[in-house]
Chain A
Amino acid sequence: MLEIRNLHARVGDRDVLKGIDLSIAPAEVHAIMGPNGSGKSTLAYVLAGRDGYEVTEGSIEYQGNDLHDLSIEERAREGIFLAFQYPVEIPGVTGTTFLRTAVNAQRKHRGEKEFDAMQFVKYLRQKQSELNVSDDMLRRAVNVGFSGGEKKRNEILQMALLEPKFAVLDETDSGLDIDALKTVADGVNALRDPSRSMLVITHYQRLLDYIVPDYIHVLADGRIVKSGGKELALELEKEGYGALTGVEAA
């Protein structure tokens, strides 16, 4: 599904990623953990194709094709989804309208017939209740006035609607209490699929109790310094990042 080789990336004049190798097969859930500043969000943005994040060396192959030449929206339409750490508020655009547009952009790209308003609402309803997203939330402008938990649930709802092949969840747990975390995690787990892979980026081990990964990689100073199975999370919990990275905790 995703093949990252020797990836180097620069943001502005800073080299942030300094040689990342990562292989993710379909159906796998990988987690990336690491201290602040290690490059976790940068990796997420590079995969999504954000402007200002420049690949200086190495390659990213998605479903066998070089990702480099695809624009942000092309990547999205090809099935790459990024759940934002800080989802953006868009006043003046209702949730339902926004979701329908995003879904239709994909359907058009795949040569499928676009949903009209009524068809979309039907499609939406199925996914909406599972995630406890109320009609009221969707009638309001996208993310405007939403609590942290509501914003994250809205991200997962988008993921459920867009049915990506590869989803990157950027610190989906940040700012959430336990209940909110459980709801979001349930939503994510419900989206596990043999044809879908996920990259879960997190700072704390706790999320990985709920979204249990197949592999964990520790990112420090732009490189993966250790990889392992899910037990690695507990080890990090006990020892902290310092033991692995050789860096004293801040």
Chain B
Amino acid sequence: MSRQITAEFPFVERFDEVTAGLPGAGLGWLDTIRRESLERFNQLALPSTRVEAWKYTNLKDLAKTPFEIAGLSTEPTSIDLNGLGAIRSGPVHRLVFANGSYSATLSDAGNLPEGLVVTNLADALTTHRNLVRPHLERISSLEGEALLALNAAFMMNGYVIVVDDGVQLDDPIELVFVSDTASPTSVHPRNLVVAGAGSRIVLSETHVGYGPSEYWSNPVTEVVVAPEAAVIHHKSQRESANAFHLANTRVTLAEKGSYQAFLISFGARLARCEIEVRLEGEGADCQLDGIYLARDRQHTDITTRIAHTKPGGSSRQVFKGVLDDHSRGVFQGKVSVSPDAQRTNGHQLNKTLLLSDDAEIDTKPELEIYADDVKCSHGAAAGRLDEMELFYLRSRGLDADEARQVLIRAFIAEVVESVEDEPFRDHLNEMIDSWLSQGELVAWLRWR
């Protein structure tokens, strides 16, 4: 069996035509990136399950779908942002991308402090070209990554956030990607966050889809954290039932830089969130926490790689999942510690609750440690609801369904409680509640 899956996506065939309408068309260096990336994608093709990193996630259904690329001048027709739920009151800083295009009407950067730029890639290629270029060039040249290459070839509008040294904003910057297409469409947003020394920002990113049509979202996000800067990144993946969501996030941390991410992933027919964090300065810190929920025949994959290359760094990952019906979960968590990275603290935990006999989780924690003065741990567990616990609750008068919901909530609680931001925590609980109840909410289970 080959290591490649060949796919013939219509939009790839029409490269010249399509890219003429994409951000930065006409910029020689960007054209070069696109062309070289296309070549690389054509050589690599999509990875088959023979490729170790894709062993548990099969892209053949994606490959079979005749994806086109999103039309670039479509303002969304029926998108109701209110349906997303106002996460909080207070100042709004929001960028909305609909079907691959930046929506000026739905976006509102709001009042930003001096030294904080919140814009879209197309505009940034004009206003911040010299800043953006090296970042685009670097990720695009990473070897062996077909989806990154595809995104680089067709990169579309995404968010660009640039924070000057020392600038801090506690208000979350909302980044919304909405898909509402009538036929199989792909979007390839390219996002960039550059946080200057000592700066601090909070990002609240949502990917949501409507409608029965298939679509494919292939976002690539680069986050560069300078010394002593802090980036907090919340992400909700709520794509529609027939969507493919394959996201790639690459983070680099300089000394004492910090990246705290929280991911909740429960939409899409096939979702894979790949996060790579490189701790490249002393004393850097990374926390990745998340929840994945799946039912029916959903497939959800969380693949993380944390690389400690300098001393004194710390990383922590806690991912918990709930799988029902015939769903399939995958967790691949790799922590590598270079010989120089003494006094590293790296901890990883993955726990999955299986609600049915046919649900399945493949969990693969990996520790690759080359330094000898480190504290690293990893844990992986999967299991059913505890019968004794269900019995206890029912013996107090709760019916079987209520008892299950209480216990599922209890299982997820640990991760939710680690979110410091209260409005986001409330929002998380609402999303979890609605997933649990599929409509009829058990009212007393609301947290507050």
**A residues lining the B interface (CB < 8 Å):** 48, 50-52, 71-73, 75-77, 81-82, 84, 87-88, 90-93, 97-98, 100-102, 105-106, 109, 141, 158, 162
Instruction: Provide the bound-state CA to CA distance between A98 and B409, in Å.
Output: 13
Chain B residue with Cβ nearest A89: B389
Instruction: Provide the bound-state CA to CA distance between A77 and B394, in Å.
Output: 10
Residue of B386, B411, B413, B417 contacting most chain A CB atoms (<10 Å)? B413
Docked-complex contact B389 and A72, CB < 8 angstroms: no
Residues 410-428 (chain B) with a chain A CB within 8 angstroms: 410-414, 417
Docked-complex contact B394 and A97, CB < 8 angstroms: no
Instruction: Provide the bound-state CA to CA distance between A53 and B34, in Å.
Output: 66
Instruction: Provide the bound-state CA to CA distance between A174 and B396, in Å.
Output: 21
Contacts of B395 in A (CB 8 A): 48, 50, 72-73, 75-76, 81-82, 84
From B386, B387, B388, B398, contact of A102 by CB (8 A): B398
Contacts of A93 in B (CB 8 A): 406, 409-410
Docked-complex contact B393 and A90, CB < 8 angstroms: yes
Can you list 27 A-B contacts with CB-CB less than 8 angstroms, sorted by A residue number?
Answer: A48-B391, A48-B395, A51-B387, A73-B397, A73-B398, A73-B399, A76-B395, A77-B397, A81-B395, A84-B392, A88-B388, A90-B392, A90-B407, A90-B410, A91-B414, A92-B413, A92-B417, A93-B409, A101-B396, A101-B398, A101-B444, A102-B396, A105-B396, A105-B397, A105-B398, A105-B399, A106-B397
Contacts of B386 in A (CB 8 A): 88
The yes or no answer to B400 lying at the interface (CB within 8 A) is: yes
Residue of B387, B396, B399, B412 contacting most chain A CB atoms (<10 Å)? B396
Instruction: Provide the bound-state CA to CA distance between A97 and B393, in Å.
Output: 13
Instruction: Provide the bound-state CA to CA distance between A72 and B406, in Å.
Output: 16
From B389, B417, B444, contact of A90 by CB (8 A): B389
Given contacts A52-B387, A72-B391, A101-B444, contact A92 B396 (CB under 8 A): no
Chain B residue with Cβ nearest A94: B447
Closest CB-CB distance, B361 to chain A, in whole Å?
21
Residue of B386, B389, B398 contacting most chain A CB atoms (<10 Å)? B398
Given contacts A92-B413, A93-B406, A93-B410, contact A76 B389 (CB under 8 A): no
Apart from A88-B389, A102-B396, list 17 A-B contacts with CB within 8 A: A51-B391, A52-B387, A71-B394, A73-B397, A76-B394, A88-B392, A90-B393, A91-B413, A92-B409, A92-B412, A92-B414, A93-B406, A97-B444, A102-B398, A105-B396, A105-B399, A141-B410
Contacts of A48 in B (CB 8 A): 391, 395
Docked-complex contact A72 and B394, CB < 8 angstroms: yes
Instruction: Provide the bound-state CA to CA distance between A97 and B444, in Å.
Output: 8
Contacts of A141 in B (CB 8 A): 410, 413
Binary contact readout B374-408 vs A (1 if CB under 8 angstroms, 0 otherwise): 00000000000011110111111111101000110
- Going nearest first, the 9 A-B pairs with the smallest beta carbon separation are A92-B413, A105-B397, A92-B410, A102-B396, A72-B394, A88-B392, A76-B397, A73-B394, A91-B410
Contacts of B400 in A (CB 8 A): 71, 73
Closest CB-CB distance, A49 to chain B, in whole Å?
8
Chain B residue with Cβ nearest A50: B391
Instruction: Provide the bound-state CA to CA distance between A82 and B395, in Å.
Output: 7
Chain B residue with Cβ nearest A103: B397
Instruction: Provide the bound-state CA to CA distance between A93 and B402, in Å.
Output: 13
Chain B residue with Cβ nearest A75: B395
Instruction: Provide the bound-state CA to CA distance between A92 and B436, in Å.
Output: 15
Closest CB-CB distance, A70 to chain B, in whole Å?
11
Contacts of B412 in A (CB 8 A): 92
Chain B residue with Cβ nearest A86: B388
Closest CB-CB distance, B291 to chain A, in whole Å?
13
Contacts of B407 in A (CB 8 A): 90
Contacts of A100 in B (CB 8 A): 444
Contacts of B393 in A (CB 8 A): 90
Chain B residue with Cβ nearest A114: B444
From B391, B397, B409, contact of A109 by CB (8 A): B397
Contacts of B398 in A (CB 8 A): 73, 101-102, 105
Chain B residue with Cβ nearest A97: B444
Chain A residue with Cβ nearest B387: A51
Chain B residue with Cβ nearest A78: B397
Instruction: Provide the bound-state CA to CA distance between A4 and B244, in Å.
Output: 59
Contacts of B392 in A (CB 8 A): 84, 87-88, 90
Contacts of A91 in B (CB 8 A): 410, 413-414
Residues 162-191 (chain B) with a chain A CB within 8 angstroms: none
Chain A residue with Cβ nearest B391: A50
Docked-complex contact B414 and A102, CB < 8 angstroms: no
Residues 335-389 (chain B) with a chain A CB within 8 angstroms: 386-389
Chain A residue with Cβ nearest B410: A92
Docked-complex contact A158 and B406, CB < 8 angstroms: no
Chain A residue with Cβ nearest B442: A101
Instruction: Provide the bound-state CA to CA distance between A131 and B392, in Å.
Output: 21
Closest CB-CB distance, A236 to chain B, in whole Å?
29
Docked-complex contact A102 and B444, CB < 8 angstroms: no
Contacts of B394 in A (CB 8 A): 71-73, 76
Closest CB-CB distance, A84 to chain B, in whole Å?
6
Contacts of B417 in A (CB 8 A): 92
Contacts of A109 in B (CB 8 A): 397
Contacts of A106 in B (CB 8 A): 397
Contacts of B406 in A (CB 8 A): 90, 93
Contacts of B409 in A (CB 8 A): 92-93
Docked-complex contact A162 and B396, CB < 8 angstroms: yes
Instruction: Provide the bound-state CA to CA distance between A109 and B386, in Å.
Output: 26
Chain B residue with Cβ nearest A144: B410
Chain A residue with Cβ nearest B392: A88
Instruction: Provide the bound-state CA to CA distance between A75 and B398, in Å.
Output: 11
Instruction: Provide the bound-state CA to CA distance between A53 and B406, in Å.
Output: 24
Given contacts A91-B414, A93-B406, A97-B444, contact A76 B396 (CB under 8 A): yes
Chain B residue with Cβ nearest A80: B395
Instruction: Provide the bound-state CA to CA distance between A4 and B399, in Å.
Output: 26
Closest CB-CB distance, A240 to chain B, in whole Å?
31
Residue of B394, B399, B410 contacting most chain A CB atoms (<10 Å)? B394
Closest CB-CB distance, B392 to chain A, in whole Å?
4
